[in-house]
Structure 1
Amino acid sequence: MDEVKFYVGLDVHKDSIAIAFARAHLRDDPQFVGTTRYSVISLTKALSKLGKPAELSVCHEAGPCGYGLVRALREQGYRCEVVAPSRVARRPADRIKTDRRDALLLARLHRAGELVPVAIPEPADEAIRDLVRAREDAVNDQRRMRQRLKSFLLRHGHAYTGTRWGPKHELFLSKIKFEEPAQHIVFTEYRMAVRFATELVERLTQSLRAHAETWRWLPVVKGLMTLRSIDIISALTIVAELGDLRRFPHPREFMGYLGLVPSEHSSGNSKQRGRLTRTGNRHVRRILVEAAWNYRLPARIGESLQPRLEGQPRHIIDIAWKAQVRLCHRFRRLRSRGLHQNKTCAAIARELCGFIWDIGTRLQPA
């Protein structure tokens, strides 16, 4: 393998790419090459003037343009990494931000080894993740549509006190009448929007279940489903968002990645801890915090959990049961100390990360 001679930083936008490079084994300032249009052909033509693909190490920040550029460069033999924008060190005194300065900064930090690369998923894994996020967006839209309908009915004295969105609630809605035709139109449109949003959620859920049956990470998904409050949608979300959990050498790093550890500002003898950092993947963090609430009940294997345990290895079931016993006991203990329920759920979610990491690192993709 050829030795790297240039470290290249790219500031990527949907229409343009700014290019800068820093010479290896030297401490001189990086140099700006120029700006080209967003095209793999134009970019490789500019990079070819610096050297062979094996002599260049390229990086750019993760952004809305996805992973198409890094995959194309890797296919042509370039060393290319996508780095986390939140981990790029910027001086507080820098008040001028341009594409040129960003590219020069990336080139300098890349040469110094101070950039943190992100895990690039395989195309099939990214497709499942897109489907998971599409379903989550549809659920959020459904929630907003329902809230609009409930608010409209509440303003006009048609509040419902029972369980909503079931057969009885639909019968209640079908009997509502308004004196003004305009209000009846609004009511009908809101009901149709709720129905369409519900149908979209059902279609995406069915598609997600169907595609999961042939996914290579299905053994890990089924392993995580042995945990209490982790159903197939939650397990698919965790695996699709995080990928291979073996990239985390220790569960503490996994907890920190999800932002479930407290922030800290310490200096000398003064130690001060604050709220959760809430960094990293917010989709998985939401799933874990919601799952933590189910551990307020006593440990048991219910009707919904029993089928998920069938066919799983004994050591995976033992981990899941150990997690349930420990987390249920810890939830009650924290609440008995007077800790707020939100802080209790955050603490349980943090410990749940450790058991998820343990199961995820023991199982292999198909």
Structure 2
Amino acid sequence: MNNVAIAAIDLGKHSFHLHAQDDRGHELYRRKFNRAGLTRHLANLNPCTVVMEACGGAHFMAQHVAALGHSAKLIAPHLVRPYVKSNKNDFADAEAICEAATRPTMRFVPPKSQEQQALAMLNSTRDAFVKDRTATANRIHAALLEVGISLAPGFKSINGLEVLLEEASFSDSIKSILRCLHEHFKYLNEQVKSLDKTVESQAAEDDLASRLMTMPCVGPITSSVLAAELGDGRQFKCGRGYSASIGLVPKQHSTGDKTVLLGISKRGDRNQRRLLIQCARVYLMHLDGQKGWLADWVRQLLAHHHSNHVVCALANKLARIAWAIAAHHTEFDAGPTAMNA
């Protein structure tokens, strides 16, 4: 066990399959552990590289592995899949992880700290409540339509539902169901408002998130999501690498000497891409009040391109700016023109 150079772990909820290799790439052993047994085994190993797929529980395990003195590396699952030989099973997956980790051009996912995990959980929980609130509102609108009542679109009309139910002539059983839905809607609405305040306070306290909010039209939600995923930005060589990782660069389909660029690739985390595109749309909506080099660049694009193309280009630019802020520990600078305006 002291000759282990790379230990690859196929993570599970209760069982963990480990594949160990020496520095020449020769298999030393493969074993199955429960969580406690894996911890004891890793504690007895000399410092080595421990590789895992970036899946559920991977960031916690990476923190735990680092605390034991090992070097933890995470690989995106879709980059491991080509290295699975023949039939798929847990030991074959662990061997494929080990094989992928030895590739010199392999891209790794940086392990998240607990602060980054907290920001990510906070935003995912808020998104879940927002979706549930919208779904509940739609159920209320649909149920009322079944009894001949058509409310105005949106959430505001639902606030007066209690008064409407008192005056309505349909059966008590239908009223009871609608009151239940209304109570659930009010609960979700309060949860969303509470989480909004929590996101604002967390973003203000986080160093990177607060610096990202110096970017135009980037608020607490977008900045906290980017801070949770970007970290220090060292996993990317440049801003284009980060932008490409979330699918904001053109998809290429070239052959020979013919270069063909298509629409944006839409790869990676769709949530980050969605937020940056929303920020870009808001920026275009308020372009008349924007000053500085970024505003001048957007106006030049609008003179020759459709607004949807400009939105994607601006979202790409914002992603690169976000990486520069994270990697160089700076803030957004709109230029002297914006300062004098």
Query: What's the TM-score bracket when you normalise by the shorter of the two chains?
Result: 0.7 to 0.9
Equivalent residue, structure 2, for 1:43: 38
Q: Distance in 2 between matches of 1:349 and 1:76?
A: 40
Q: Summarize the Cα distance change of 1:234–1:121 in structure 2 as closer, same or farther, 3 Å threshold.
A: same
Q: Distance in 1 between matches of 2:142 and 2:273?
A: 29
SS in 1 for 2:51: strand
Q: Summarize the Cα distance change of 1:70–1:99 in structure 2 as closer, same or farther, 3 Å threshold.
A: same
Q: Which letter does structure 1 place at the counterpart of 2:298? A: L
Stretch of structure 1 that moved more, 354-363 or 58-67: 354-363
Q: For 2:228, which of 237, 240, 258 is the aligned residue?
A: 240
Q: Distance in 2 between matches of 1:110 and 1:4?
A: 17
Q: Summarize the Cα distance change of 1:325–1:185 in structure 2 as closer, same or farther, 3 Å threshold.
A: farther
Q: Distance in 1 between matches of 2:250 and 2:212?
A: 25
Q: Summarize the Cα distance change of 1:329–1:198 in structure 2 as closer, same or farther, 3 Å threshold.
A: farther
Equivalent residue, structure 2, for 1:88: 80
Stretch of structure 1 that moved more, 13-22 or 172-181: 172-181
Equivalent residue, structure 2, for 1:325: 296
Equivalent residue, structure 2, for 1:165: 155
Aligned partners of 2:11 and 2:58 also within 8 Å? no
SS in 2 for 1:35: strand
Equivalent residue, structure 2, for 1:53: 46
Q: Structure 1, residues 256-290: CA drift from partner, whole Å, max 9, x if none?
A: 01111222232224544444322222221110111
C-alpha displacement at 1:102, in angstroms?
1.0
Q: Which letter does structure 2 place at the counterpart of 1:71? A: Q
Aligned partners of 1:12 and 1:18 also within 8 Å? yes
Q: Distance in 2 between matches of 1:331 and 1:4?
A: 61
% same residue: 19
Q: Which has the higher contact order (CA 8 A, sep 6+)?
A: 1
Structure 1 unaligned runs (5+)? 303-319
| Aligned pairs for 1:83-122 within 5 A | 83-88=75-80, 90=82, 94=85, 96-113=87-104, 115-122=106-113
C-alpha displacement at 1:141, in angstroms?
1.5
Equivalent residue, structure 1, for 2:336: none
| Aligned pairs for 1:61-80 within 5 A | 61-80=53-72
Aligned partners of 2:6 and 2:49 also within 8 Å? yes
Q: Which letter does structure 2 place at the counterpart of 1:323? A: L
The answer to whether 1:202 aligns with 2:193 is yes
RMSD between aligned residues: 3.0
Q: Which letter does structure 2 place at the counterpart of 1:165? A: F
Q: Which letter does structure 2 place at the counterpart of 1:34? A: R
C-alpha displacement at 1:6, in angstroms?
2.1
TM-score (structure 1 length as normaliser): 0.78
Aligned partners of 1:296 and 1:331 also within 8 Å? no
Q: Summarize the Cα distance change of 1:228–1:148 in structure 2 as closer, same or farther, 3 Å threshold.
A: farther
Equivalent residue, structure 2, for 1:346: 312
Stretch of structure 1 that moved more, 77-86 or 274-283: 274-283
Aligned partners of 2:277 and 2:311 also within 8 Å? yes
Equivalent residue, structure 1, for 2:324: 358
C-alpha displacement at 1:201, in angstroms?
0.5
Q: For 1:152, which of 143, 147, 150 is the aligned residue?
A: 143
SS in 2 for 1:21: strand
Q: Which letter does structure 2 place at the counterpart of 1:8? A: A
Q: Structure 1, residues 206-256: CA drift from partner, whole Å, max 9, x if none?
A: 2223334433x2xx3333323332122222222123222354332211110
